[in-house]
Structure 1
């Protein structure tokens, strides 16, 4: 049947309108790529509460007004394919950064970058120590109360880099970064011998360390990108300079004889050092199913800064450490799919950190000093490490939508050490086996169940002796070196019951059994348990409304047996770390001109010590250590309203809450009278109103 001509005209017109709409959307997408949008955001915010935690890294510590200024300017020259971009973030705050990029696609490019990062000490130091921030401090000779001091450090860095594409698929990259760090941070000196009380000698004094560092990082990289072969090689270097060679003091406590804090001056500060590395990495595709990658590097790190003061060097010892550490790294991996259902992975890593620092006797009187029964030899102790790591994994597809994965990991460590200077062991080995089963249980549910078992063992522990030749009282094997058996089970689920909803859940549980100690002492860590639970969900109500929620729970526990130095009474501790966190967020567009979003997060961390002393009479007045708790919550709210297509207003609100009963410094007073304190409950409100301008 032939349709009327007028109807044909209407159908054609409708199709033309639909096509025009599709073309318009495509043109808009193309326009966003070729003519990207630039934005400037400016305004002001007000902080309603003084605080120490909320503004620790952004400078928003004191109540009052702060500027809001962000920019992202992008320009493209269609004739030359040249891009220009200028980004500025948090320009009204103290943690600001600016980056300028200029490039021509596939030809050349360069960038300049400047950033500032503050770090405010969350504790207030009430101290009478003078000269804070300098390398010479005046310390009270008797306990003296002082006024509040707020320590901080600030980093300023400037960086630039260039890249140039060369013929034959080569690219050259050069980069340089200069970072200055200034300020002061918590530091101290002294020692205390004997149990707390009137019989103890010595003490601890508050000495803020002056920070005046410069770090320079630079390098060059030559890349090759072929069809099957990719290579990247070059040089990477660092130079560290500390403008303060030593910290000197006047005053201080003279109580304690040779252990008096006032005798510890000058104190050497971190010395200048440098490192230089040559590296080469790459990958090669042998065929569509097999690919290999590798990485190799050689690094020389040295420290030849002169000792301060030089007259303290022992006869025959050099005027500087002549420190040198050479590090060799070789890593290779191979992935292959020899069968349609089988995937293989093999990985090898070797690292040799060789400490070539010469050994000298820097303190010939050290053998006459016996601190807590420990012998101090007066020699420096170079430490070298050599590590072998191997990994193999096989992945095979089974019937019924099952996939079986098996893996073996092996790690070997070699360390240098001498009985007089270390309580470690020279070598450790760890072997792990893993088996994993994955299954698509339905179109909407995927699950993974895995089991991992690992064993760690090693050579005998070195025997440390006192100045009289007796075994040193410390018989505890360090947790990272002790023999250990670990079993771990992990369950992962991914559930998408219907298109708008996606849920991921994870549970893993591990058990550690430390079945070895030093010299059959019975002391040290015994068992450990770790549990982790997490849940994430995302729901899309519509194109203009999305929501998400997450929950995380972590539990870690270790049991340890110990004893006091004298009169060596056994005691135990069951350390626990419990953390719970959750968050909820919603983003939506209720109106074509209005975008809103809100996000709430909360976390709580508790550290439990659970001490148990079997003979209370050993330590009169001793009480179990109380728990430490941290609580932090934050509510973020934003709203953006478009006054015009390219002009609008934005509102930001932040409510931040912090609470702790952290007791580490409560009731503690330095020998000079300094006390550290913090507000254990902090509420912060921040409200910002700004305007934004967009253009293309």
Structure 2
């Protein structure tokens, strides 16, 4: 693989790789050769300061201080009709931080070679002002500063990836494929540590009072310096009725940084903004090392195939075996305190997958498809006493997971216009035997097995004259085995009747993925063309989930509604207008601890209108206006057992305020064809964003960390972008 290796032996992709490959492309005679080349170059300009551009610059590939930027790209294609060899090389955004290059080189019916290089930079949309030093390292130093008097940080991550691929036709019935990809990721992203004293987990840690700070959330960005390499190889065989494919996939993740060791100051700000000494024990807790994603790898072997039983029936299958391991050494990663004799996790998960399916047409109007899928994830990670709670010790927990899925579907063509579908599905999940020496936290009980049955029916009308449409109904029900109460290191107790007196499940918390659930879904589709120049498409999806668990807490029901309509109208042969409207709504009703109930509502509206056309034979124009609103609301209530203090707080605050994101985007474009070889394209875009998020700004007050770091996101952001590009093509 083309790369630049550092002294440590880890390799990083380089921008020169694809340019070198293109330079060594074959030289052909001019006879029977077709060559097409185009080069695009131009300038762009963007206004606004850093706060105005925070949302726009998230993936723009521009530096926050950059107002003028260059644009350059090219496309090269050459084909020799005599030899059947063709090569294409393309490049875009070469003057920004989001560069992309691609090479495709092939001989028709013989071999194919491909390569690509991609960069992507992501920036945080929140601007942080902090006194921290060493951002991006594993040992940042936190220095408390008066909020707003520190330095502005640019938290960003950068991805650089190279991919190579090769395919060779060995014979008419045999083909080999090999591909690989390496990605290097660097930078830092939003992260933090926090703790509140006093706590049962730290008895010696004292709380906040007039002379000390006993709690706090600290700004500690996560450093990133990792590589992810992937390899995929496949040998395919094809006979008259049989298709076979043997494959290998490998994934290798390496992280240069094993843990994060923040250096905690001796003083922090208390909740009212006063700088006080850190309470006894708190600094040690906040300064504990934080494990970062460890090195890991996975290897998979598989065989897939299909057999054409006759002209109307086909059978297909897949069998694979995967082994994933994680054995990074604790001390080498900067982590201590492991159980005696344990140097690494020794993580190992073996996954076996077997799947078989069929498709048959027993009658001219009837077709039937079915699949049976079995997957067994066997967790073989060794057990050790990692967890300590007072004088009690618990091991980690093994998480085996076995699923069996069956699907059957029949389609019947009643007439040339009407088609019906009936489907049946069954899913069984077995989570294995609970590790008796482990303990769970946050939930009251668990389940080993769940089973879900799904029924589906659809009626579809094919396009006749001016209308086609479909209606689909789906119903599923999930239930499970008896609940298992955790006995904290002494196994579990099966609870046949969770509603029996004295069980204590009425105020328990149960995972919604394990609870009994009833799901109903409806989907409507329509395609209408009332005029030759007008077409309209629409869709409506409605779904409701109802959960039943022993306790009053947790998710009780959820719902979703999604409606979309889009149209296209040809005003004349030269001008076209199109648009769309989409609205979706999701709800979650759940009970919370301390007798609180929360109804979460999230609604999204998206509207767009566009116009394209040719003003003259050489001038093309376009305009597009779009609007997006995403609004999340939190309706809170208390039951009669809530405390007077909780009731007074809710009455005074009104509960959590909504979070709203709105964005207006106007785009104008024009393309002028100078001659057969050259053209000029101009694009203008205006972005207006409003983001009301009380997590970072509440009534004009920004969020302040205990070390004085301030997170700021401007409420309303305006950005204007202009791009002008000249393209020259020749053959």
Whether 1:527 aligns to 2:567 is: no
CA-CA distance at 1:36 after TM superposition: 6.9
684-693 vs 614-623, greater mean Cα deviation: 614-623
Match in the other structure for 1:55: 57
Match in the other structure for 2:237: 224
Q: Does the CA contact (< 8 Å) of 2:131 and 2:151 recur in 1? A: yes
CA-CA distance at 1:87 after TM superposition: 0.7
Cα distance 1:151–1:489, how it changes in 2: closer, same or farther (>3 A)? same
- Please list the CA deviations of residues 24-64 of structure 1 after superposition, one character each: whole Å capped at 9, or x if unmatched: xxxxxxxxx98474322111111122311112112234351
Cα distance 1:509–1:67, how it changes in 2: closer, same or farther (>3 A)? same
Q: Does the CA contact (< 8 Å) of 2:207 and 2:215 recur in 1? A: no
Whether 1:499 aligns to 2:532 is: yes
- Please list the CA deviations of residues 439-463 of structure 1 after superposition, one character each: whole Å capped at 9, or x if unmatched: 3585211121222111111123332
Q: Does the CA contact (< 8 Å) of 1:190 and 1:259 recur in 2? A: no
Whether 1:429 aligns to 2:429 is: no
Task: Give distance in 1, aligned partners of 2:255 and 2:661.
Answer: 35
Task: Give distance in 1, aligned partners of 2:185 and 2:664.
Answer: 31
437-446 vs 462-471, greater mean Cα deviation: 462-471
Match in the other structure for 1:339: 363
Task: Give distance in 2, aligned partners of 1:571 and 1:344.
Answer: 50
Cα distance 1:232–1:543, how it changes in 2: closer, same or farther (>3 A)? farther
Q: Does the CA contact (< 8 Å) of 2:131 and 2:145 recur in 1? A: no
- Please list the CA deviations of residues 542-573 of structure 1 after superposition, one character each: whole Å capped at 9, or x if unmatched: 44333321111111112112222xxxxx1111
Paired residue for 2:678, among 642, 647, 656? 647
Cα distance 1:326–1:259, how it changes in 2: closer, same or farther (>3 A)? farther
Match in the other structure for 1:413: 429
Q: Does the CA contact (< 8 Å) of 1:251 and 1:262 recur in 2? A: no
Whether 1:678 aligns to 2:694 is: no
Q: Does the CA contact (< 8 Å) of 2:417 and 2:464 recur in 1? A: no
Match in the other structure for 2:509: 476
CA-CA distance at 1:140 after TM superposition: 3.3
Cα distance 1:472–1:432, how it changes in 2: closer, same or farther (>3 A)? closer
CA-CA distance at 1:488 after TM superposition: 1.7
Task: Give distance in 2, aligned partners of 1:687 and 1:533.
Answer: 34
Cα distance 1:89–1:355, how it changes in 2: closer, same or farther (>3 A)? same
Match in the other structure for 1:240: 253
Paired residue for 1:354, among 357, 364, 378? 378
Q: Does the CA contact (< 8 Å) of 1:313 and 1:319 recur in 2? A: no
Paired residue for 2:193, among 165, 182, 189? 189
Match in the other structure for 1:617: 644
Task: Give distance in 2, aligned partners of 1:351 and 1:147.
Answer: 52
Task: Give distance in 1, aligned partners of 2:620 and 2:680.
Answer: 11
Match in the other structure for 1:669: 704
Q: Does the CA contact (< 8 Å) of 2:145 and 2:709 recur in 1? A: no
Q: Does the CA contact (< 8 Å) of 2:193 and 2:220 recur in 1? A: yes
CA-CA distance at 1:142 after TM superposition: 8.4
Gaps of 5+ in 1: 1-32, 370-375, 565-569
Match in the other structure for 2:389: 367
- Please list the CA deviations of residues 648-672 of structure 1 after superposition, one character each: whole Å capped at 9, or x if unmatched: 1111111122111011123533222
Match in the other structure for 1:485: 518
Paired residue for 1:604, among 610, 615, 629? 629
Match in the other structure for 1:554: 584
- Give the total of aligned pairs: 648
Q: Does the CA contact (< 8 Å) of 1:205 and 1:261 recur in 2? A: no
Whether 1:590 aligns to 2:615 is: yes
Report 1:242-391 matches (<5 A).
242-252=255-265, 255=278, 257-260=280-283, 262-308=285-331, 312-363=336-387, 366-368=388-390, 377-391=393-407
Task: Give distance in 2, aligned partners of 1:604 and 1:38.
Answer: 42
Q: Does the CA contact (< 8 Å) of 1:203 and 1:260 recur in 2? A: no
- Please list the CA deviations of residues 399-425 of structure 1 after superposition, one character each: whole Å capped at 9, or x if unmatched: 584322111111122224457226332
Q: Does the CA contact (< 8 Å) of 1:344 and 1:395 recur in 2? A: yes
Match in the other structure for 1:100: 103
CA-CA distance at 1:77 after TM superposition: 1.4
Q: Does the CA contact (< 8 Å) of 1:377 and 1:420 recur in 2? A: no
Cα distance 1:400–1:183, how it changes in 2: closer, same or farther (>3 A)? closer
Task: Give distance in 1, aligned partners of 2:356 and 2:574.
Answer: 47
Q: Does the CA contact (< 8 Å) of 2:507 and 2:551 recur in 1? A: no
Match in the other structure for 1:213: 226
CA-CA distance at 1:260 after TM superposition: 4.2
CA-CA distance at 1:243 after TM superposition: 0.7
Task: Give distance in 2, aligned partners of 1:687 and 1:462.
Answer: 62
Q: Taking structure 1 as the reference length, what is the TM-score of the superposition?
A: 0.87
Q: Does the CA contact (< 8 Å) of 2:232 and 2:250 recur in 1? A: yes
Task: Give distance in 2, aligned partners of 1:141 and 1:122.
Answer: 23
Match in the other structure for 1:179: 183
- Please list the CA deviations of residues 85-120 of structure 1 after superposition, one character each: whole Å capped at 9, or x if unmatched: 111122222111101221111112212211100010
Partner-residue secondary structure (3-state), 1:55: helix
Q: Does the CA contact (< 8 Å) of 2:610 and 2:624 recur in 1? A: yes
CA-CA distance at 1:474 after TM superposition: 7.4
Match in the other structure for 1:87: 90
Match in the other structure for 1:398: 414
Task: Give distance in 2, aligned partners of 1:77 and 1:481.
Answer: 61
- Please list the CA deviations of residues 255-280 of structure 1 after superposition, one character each: whole Å capped at 9, or x if unmatched: 45455465542222211111111122
CA-CA distance at 1:232 after TM superposition: 2.4
Whether 1:154 aligns to 2:173 is: no
Task: Give distance in 1, aligned partners of 2:355 and 2:624.
Answer: 43
CA-CA distance at 1:606 after TM superposition: 0.5
Paired residue for 1:513, among 523, 539, 546? 546
CA-CA distance at 1:521 after TM superposition: 2.6
CA-CA distance at 1:316 after TM superposition: 3.3
Task: Give distance in 1, aligned partners of 2:634 and 2:601.
Answer: 6
Task: Give distance in 2, aligned partners of 1:225 and 1:547.
Answer: 48
Gaps of 5+ in 2: 1-31, 200-205, 267-276, 493-502
Cα distance 1:259–1:386, how it changes in 2: closer, same or farther (>3 A)? farther
Task: Give distance in 2, aligned partners of 1:668 and 1:638.
Answer: 40
Task: Give distance in 2, aligned partners of 1:443 and 1:473.
Answer: 59
Task: Give distance in 1, aligned partners of 2:35 and 2:362.
Answer: 45
- Please list the CA deviations of residues 442-499 of structure 1 after superposition, one character each: whole Å capped at 9, or x if unmatched: 5211121222111111123332467999979972222222211112222211112233
CA-CA distance at 1:634 after TM superposition: 1.7
Q: Does the CA contact (< 8 Å) of 1:608 and 1:628 recur in 2? A: yes
Task: Give distance in 1, aligned partners of 2:600 and 2:116.
Answer: 45
Whether 1:631 aligns to 2:666 is: no
Match in the other structure for 1:660: 691
Match in the other structure for 2:476: 454
- Please list the CA deviations of residues 232-272 of structure 1 after superposition, one character each: whole Å capped at 9, or x if unmatched: 22211111111112222323458454554655422222111
Match in the other structure for 2:460: 438
Q: Does the CA contact (< 8 Å) of 1:190 and 1:260 recur in 2? A: no
